């Protein structure tokens, strides 16, 4: 209860600040006739509309606090996968807080920033702001050249792992997937096993999880954050449950279609996040583009009292739309990909219309038509009738500029 009281005190202060100093919110609050005194706590937040990406794009200046000094504004761009990049301001005074959230997440996994790290990322934003990277270099961490991973040659990968002997391996699931494949293909055991694996920025399917477990035998932790936000919003504990950071954020799960400005509480739906730390450009009820499920009243068996999130289901555009209008998160289909996990380096789902789901696969060796059909049939069984599945072998899957490889490329879910 004390956590909630602290969180709501910060929320009231933010709303008041936004009304007093941010033209956009002043206008919205006048239009909706919701004044700062009407927002007494989290339950009152749905009185305010959802802030969409396009609102940020159009009203960038009006969303900036009149009292933010030039030095407070940290210009940032979302790394974006299939979404267009979005420019916005973070509050420079939150950088230490962001760092603290990252280091704190390590403590839950039983490691410290002083342990050796192996980073699998090319995210420039992360490079610039991440003290972990800087610190990692100081204490003997390293990042793996992505060309090495992409080359799909196992030996150089294992050599780097043996040389760095990382206690912690961090990266996007799609890169961890390649790393684990390389280790398994090399056929020799690692000299030192990492003590934990961290991932963020993409969902991890059960196929990847299984590979990592076989390759490293280390527990897997996840963190949830975004370039727009002042720190990590949540992290998983050793029981695999998501705990939310009440010191920095209010996370709501709301119903409605992507981009719907009305957002009422729902058991699953869009994640809408209020950043309690960014006073330079407040984000209140910001639709981040992820889907999730709310948690019930139950407590986590780990004993921590930070509130829970039921689950994260990935970016809105990482959902398959079937011919009969069902929406299925790509993460569900990834389960089926376990069937051929040892035959494929990696894969990507692609969809431009509900009648067809394309699956680009990078085979390890021979992957004939019978295999392709077997996979297509298994995926089809998940999707139901009306949507055909086409499996196409390719030599590689292109990366985004950030180094991410989204599990799903869809033009059907661009609602933001």
Residues in contact with Zn ion by CB under 5 A are: 237, 239, 241, 300, 302, 304
Which of 188, 299 has the CB closer to Zn ion? 299
Run of H or E including 287: strand 286-294
Give the integer Cα–Cα distance in Å for 42 and 110. Answer: 32
Which of 137, 239 has the CB closer to Zn ion? 239
Q: How far is the CB of 207 from Zn ion (least distance, A)?
A: 25
Residue owning tokens 């959230």: 101
Crossing angle, helix 173-186 and helix 154-164, to 10 degrees? Answer: 100
Which of 237, 272 has the CB closer to Zn ion? 237
Of 242, 200, 252, which Cα lies nearest the Cα of 404?
A: 200
Q: How far is the CB of 250 from Zn ion (least distance, A)?
A: 19
Phi and psi, residue 333, nearest 5°: -70, -30
DSSP single-letter state for residue 36: G
Which of 240, 368 has the CB closer to Zn ion? 240
Judge whether 71 and 30 are in contact, CB under 8 Å.
no
Judge whether 302 and 239 are in contact, CB under 8 Å.
yes
Question: What CA–CA distances, in Å, run from 300 to 224, 236, 303?
Answer: 18, 11, 6
Which of 170, 237 has the CB closer to Zn ion? 237
Q: Are strands 168-171 and 220-224 parallel, antiparallel or unpaired?
A: unpaired
Question: What CA–CA distances, in Å, run from 83 to 316, 406, 409, 412?
Answer: 10, 11, 10, 12
Give the integer Cα–Cα distance in Å for 389 and 356. Answer: 6
Give the integer Cα–Cα distance in Å for 32 and 261. Answer: 12
Of 225, 220, 200, which Cα lies nearest the Cα of 98?
A: 225
Run of H or E including 170: strand 168-171
Q: How far is the CB of 275 from Zn ion (least distance, A)?
A: 23
Q: How far is the CB of 378 from Zn ion (least distance, A)?
A: 34
Which of 243, 315 has the CB closer to Zn ion? 243
Q: How far is the CB of 309 from Zn ion (least distance, A)?
A: 11
Which of 6, 239 has the CB closer to Zn ion? 239
What is the secondary structure of 319-358 as a DSSP string? EEE-TTS-EEEHHHHHHHGGGGTTTEEEEEEEEEETTEEE
Which of 239, 396 has the CB closer to Zn ion? 239
Of 196, 7, 175, 1, which Cα lies nearest the Cα of 109?
A: 196
Q: How far is the CB of 238 from Zn ion (least distance, A)?
A: 7
Q: How far is the CB of 308 from Zn ion (least distance, A)?
A: 7
Which of 190, 306 has the CB closer to Zn ion? 306
Q: How far is the CB of 76 from Zn ion (least distance, A)?
A: 30
Q: How far is the CB of 206 from Zn ion (least distance, A)?
A: 20
Q: How far is the CB of 395 from Zn ion (least distance, A)?
A: 42
Cα 5 versus chain centre, distance: 28
Residue 211 gets the label, from left (phi > 0), alpha (psi -120 to 50) or beta, of: alpha
Which of 213, 302 has the CB closer to Zn ion? 302
Give the integer Cα–Cα distance in Å for 136 and 51. Answer: 36
């Amino acid at each position: 209860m004390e956590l909630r009281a602290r969180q709501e005190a910060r929320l009231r202060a933010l709303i008041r600040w936004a009304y007093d100093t941010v033209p956009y919110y002043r206008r919205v609050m006048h239009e909706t006739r919701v004044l700062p005194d009407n927002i007494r706590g989290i339950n009152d937040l749905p009185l305010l509309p959802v802030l969409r990406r396009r609102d940020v794009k159009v009203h960038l200046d009006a969303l900036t606090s009149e009292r933010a000094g030039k030095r407070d504004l940290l210009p940032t761009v979302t790394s974006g996968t299939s979404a267009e990049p979005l420019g916005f301001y973070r509050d420079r005074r939150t950088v230490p807080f962001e760092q603290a959230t990252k280091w704190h997440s390590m403590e839950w996994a039983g490691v410290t920033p002083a342990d050796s790290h192996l980073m699998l990322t090319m995210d420039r934003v992360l490079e610039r702001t991440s003290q972990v990277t800087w610190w990692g270099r100081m204490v003997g961490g390293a990042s793996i050249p992505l060309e090495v991973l992409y080359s799909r040659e196992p030996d150089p990968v294992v050599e780097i792992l043996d040389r760095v002997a990382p206690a912690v391996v961090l990266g996007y699931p799609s890169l961890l997937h390649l790393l684990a494949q390389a280790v398994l293909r090399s056929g020799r055991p690692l000299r030192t096993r990492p003590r934990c694996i961290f991932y963020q920025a993409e969902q991890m399917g059960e196929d990847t999880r299984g590979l990592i477990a076989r390759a490293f035998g280390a527990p897997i932790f996840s963190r949830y954050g975004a370039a727009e936000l002042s720190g990590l919003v949540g992290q998983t504990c050793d029981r695999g449950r998501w705990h939310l950071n009440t010191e920095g954020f209010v996370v709501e799960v709301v119903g409605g279609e992507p981009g719907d400005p009305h957002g009422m509480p729902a058991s699953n739906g869009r994640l809408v996040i209020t950043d309690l730390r960014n006073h330079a450009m407040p984000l209140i009820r910001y639709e981040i583009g992820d889907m999730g499920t709310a948690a019930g009243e139950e407590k986590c068996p780990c004993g921590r009292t930070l509130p829970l999130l039921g689950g994260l289901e990935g970016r809105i555009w990482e959902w398959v739309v079937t011919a009969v209008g069902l929406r299925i998160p790509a993460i569900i289909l990834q389960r089926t990909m376990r069937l051929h996990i040892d035959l494929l380096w990696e894969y990507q789902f692609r969809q431009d219309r509900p009648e067809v789901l394309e699956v680009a696969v990078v085979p390890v060796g021979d992957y004939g038509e019978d295999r392709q059909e077997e996979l297509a049939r298994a995926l089809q069984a998940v999707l139901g009738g009306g949507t055909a599945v086409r499996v196409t072998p390719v030599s590689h899957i292109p990366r985004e500029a950030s180094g991410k490889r989204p599990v799903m490329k869809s033009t059907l879910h661009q609602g933001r």
